[in-house]
């Protein structure tokens, strides 16, 4: 928004200043206007062309007026120059920073051969949560963008799959936790069918982790503690957004947020009753490492009679 108000980017400012400079410029060598010529009683058609050197110069301005115009012109030019020199570069919007799309991309030809590492049975630990934490720390160390972003798949009332990305916020031997609005599409789907699948893609490490299992809600006290650890703006966002509902426009959200900001200016923001954590309690966790020739490594942990069993799956 601020960008639009920037002087350097404002064409009106330029037009005004150029108009000032133009209006003030010395144009004393202008030809006489037709009106001025006709005012001497000669018809336009019959009139001889004026001799500029000797022609009467009714349009000639007084020296005082000329000086004032020149002064205005130099003032306009100086302001224009000052704006250009002093204006910081205009921050570009994301849209104008995006690379120009190459319409020649042949999607079917996009592929990568995975060569970085292998995953042997001897490389992994017996507890899949510990193995996950090890890989997660390696993803963090590799500077992967949002390493805790994971695709969450749920099932609709009609038995159709439905997926979106959420953020992992906690993991321990009980499971994998994310936070959301319980009245959202995913929230309603999980109430109807309390099973979910999670997928992490850590592309720079040529790794994928798949998790499947039952879900449970985290305790109110755990959810409240996490809610209050979030930035105040995110806490208000949870109140402002009726997640997954159709809204008229963006203004609806911004207006709600503004009202909430005023309402909770000097007060603690309570956790909305419909907002909290969901824990996916895994029945299966698969660690996938990309290998050449599409002969990837897949090690799957499965909970069998309370014990984690590890199997290698064909890629």
Ligand X SMILES: Cc1cc2nc3c(=O)[nH]c(=O)nc-3n(C[C@H](O)[C@H](O)[C@H](O)COP(=O)(O)O)c2cc1C
Binding annotation for FMN: 164-169, 179-180, 186, 208, 243-244, 288, 298
Binding mask 35-74 for ligand PLP (x = CB under 6 A): ----------------------------------------
Residue 230 within binding range of ligand PLP, rule CB under 6 A: yes
Nearer to ligand PLP, 119 or 177 (CB): 177
Residue 180 within binding range of ligand X, rule CB under 6 A: yes
Closest alpha carbon to 18 in 85, 68, 63, 84: 84
Nearer to ligand PLP, 260 or 299 (CB): 260
Closest alpha carbon to 83 in 24, 20, 26, 27: 20
Reply yes or no on whether 279 is catalytic.
no
Q: Which of 69, 294, 300, 312 is labelled catalytic? A: 294
> With contacts defined by CB under 6 A, how many residues of the chain interact with ligand X?
14
Residue with tokens 């956790």: 271
DSSP tally for the chain: helices H, then strands E: 10, 9
Annotated binding residues for substrate, written as ranges, equal 169, 226, 230, 234, 294-296
> Closest separation between CB of residue 239 and ligand X, Å?
14
- From residue 12, how far is each of 5, 78, 281, 289 by CA, in Å? 11, 17, 61, 58
Nearer to ligand PLP, 93 or 234 (CB): 234
In the three-class reduction of DSSP (H, G, I as helix; E, B as strand; rest coil), residue 294 is classed as helix
Query: How far apart (Å, rounded) are the C-alpha atoms in residues 308 and 73?
Result: 84
Scan residues 160-179 and list those touching ligand PLP (CB under 6 A).
167, 179
Query: How far apart (Å, rounded) are the C-alpha atoms in residues 209 and 118?
Result: 15
Query: How far apart (Å, rounded) are the C-alpha atoms in residues 81 and 262?
Result: 43
> Among 160-168, 215-223, 249-257, 290-298, which window interacts with ligand X (CB under 6 A)?
160-168
Task: Please count the other Cβ atoms lying within 10 Å of the Cβ belonging to residue 2.
Answer: 7
Residue 300 within binding range of ligand PLP, rule CB under 6 A: no
Catalytic residue numbers read 294
Which residues contact ligand PLP by CB under 6 A? 167, 179-180, 230, 234
């Amino acid at each position: 928004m601020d960008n639009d108000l920037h002087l350097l980017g404002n064409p009106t400012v330029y037009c005004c200043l150029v108009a000032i400079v133009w209006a003030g410029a010395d144009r004393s060598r202008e030809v006489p206007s037709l009106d001025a010529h006709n005012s001497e009683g000669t018809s336009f058609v019959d009139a001889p062309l004026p001799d500029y050197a000797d022609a009467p110069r009714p349009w000639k301005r007084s020296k005082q007026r000329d000086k004032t115009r020149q002064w205005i012109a130099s003032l306009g030019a100086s302001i224009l120059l000052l704006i250009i020199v002093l204006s910081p570069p205009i921050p570009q919007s994301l849209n104008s920073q995006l690379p120009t799309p190459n319409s020649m991309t042949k999607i079917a030809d996009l592929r990568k051969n995975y060569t970085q590492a292998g995953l042997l049975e001897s490389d992994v630990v017996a507890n899949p949560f510990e193995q996950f934490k090890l890989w997660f720390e390696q993803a963090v160390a590799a500077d992967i963008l949002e390493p805790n972003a994971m695709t969450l798949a749920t099932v609709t009332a009609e038995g159709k799959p439905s997926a979106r990305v959420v953020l992992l916020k906690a993991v321990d031997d009980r499971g994998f936790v994310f936070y959301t609005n319980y009245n959202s599409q995913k929230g309603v789907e999980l109430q109807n069918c309390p099973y979910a699948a999670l997928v992490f893609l850590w592309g720079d490490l040529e790794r994928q982790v798949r998790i499947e299992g039952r879900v449970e809600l985290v305790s109110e006290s755990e959810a409240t503690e996490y809610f209050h650890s979030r930035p105040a703006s995110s806490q208000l966002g949870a109140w402002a957004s009726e997640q997954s509902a159709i809204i008229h426009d963006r203004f609806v959200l911004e207006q709600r947020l503004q009202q909430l900001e005023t309402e909770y200016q000097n007060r603690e923001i309570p956790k909305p009753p419909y907002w909290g954590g969901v824990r996916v309690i895994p029945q299966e966790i698969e660690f996938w490492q990309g290998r050449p020739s599409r002969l990837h490594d897949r090690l799957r942990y499965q909970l069998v009679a309370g014990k984690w069993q590890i199997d290698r799956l064909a890629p």
